[in-house]
Amino acid sequence: MGPRVLLVPLGCLALLLPPPGAAEFSPSLDSDFTFTLPAGRKECFYQPMRKEASLELEYQVLDGAGLDVDFHLLSPKGETLVFDERKSDGVHTVETEDGDYMFCFDNTFSTISEKVIFFELILDNMGEDGQDEEDWKKYVTGTDLLDMKLEDILESINSVKARLSKSVQIQTLLRAFEARDRNIQESNFDRVNFWSMVNLGVMVVVSAVQVYMLKSLFEDKRKSRT
């Protein structure tokens, strides 16, 4: 899993003017979070983004009746970018502008069942990589005699870094799928046990009734004459 993200109640961040009930993520290129959404509730979070960056959000409903939830993604201007109705999972990527992007998970349509929801944020072009390249450029001078220049080393390192990041993302998604499948299997296991006990009880009752009826057929019901 990627680094855990602390959610901060929006009441402590009123100067940033996010909507009530929201939370902010600490700066990270890749972060994931799992939380429980009670029945009849809606939870919103926001993520500050830069211009010409990329925001990718993946979510899954791991547990809960129906394995579904409503999902909303809003731009800093309050425009609805994505709306998923009663879905179990989704992957969305948007090109961003400066401002706070809000995304909400809505379980108000359910009056009984709470939902366990996993989501992952992947942020690209947030400026960190460009700064790293500027730092590397200071050491490029005087390397013409080397068989491999520092630019080539940097390109190789970035390629490995990108592949490792993709591997971590795939492993995180696979773990989320495994958790959801395990919850479904455990639920099915409980149902099978319950109905097996019901069937066993019915069979015992039916057997007792059959024995009683067979015994009554062979009983001598003739009254003795006095």
Predicted confidence at residue 2, as pLDDT, reads 40
Predicted confidence at residue 42, as pLDDT, reads 93
For 134, the enclosing helix (H) or strand (E) is: helix 128-137
pLDDT tens per residue across span 176-205: 778 777 877 888 888 888 889 999 999 999
Mean pLDDT along residues 134-156? 60
Q: Residue 18: pLDDT above 80? A: no
Predicted confidence at residue 11, as pLDDT, reads 33
Q: Residue 16: pLDDT above 70? A: no
* CA-closest candidate to residue 75, choices 117, 25, 19: 19
Predicted confidence at residue 128, as pLDDT, reads 54
Mean pLDDT along residues 86-93? 90
Mean pLDDT along residues 124-149? 57
3-state secondary structure of 45: strand
Q: If you write DSSP's letter for every residue of 141-209 in order, what string do you get?
A: TT-TTSSS-HHHHHHHHHHHHHHHHHHHHHHHHHHHHHHHHHHHHHHHHHHHHHHHHHHHHHHHHHHHH
Predicted confidence at residue 67, as pLDDT, reads 86
Mean pLDDT along residues 71-96? 92
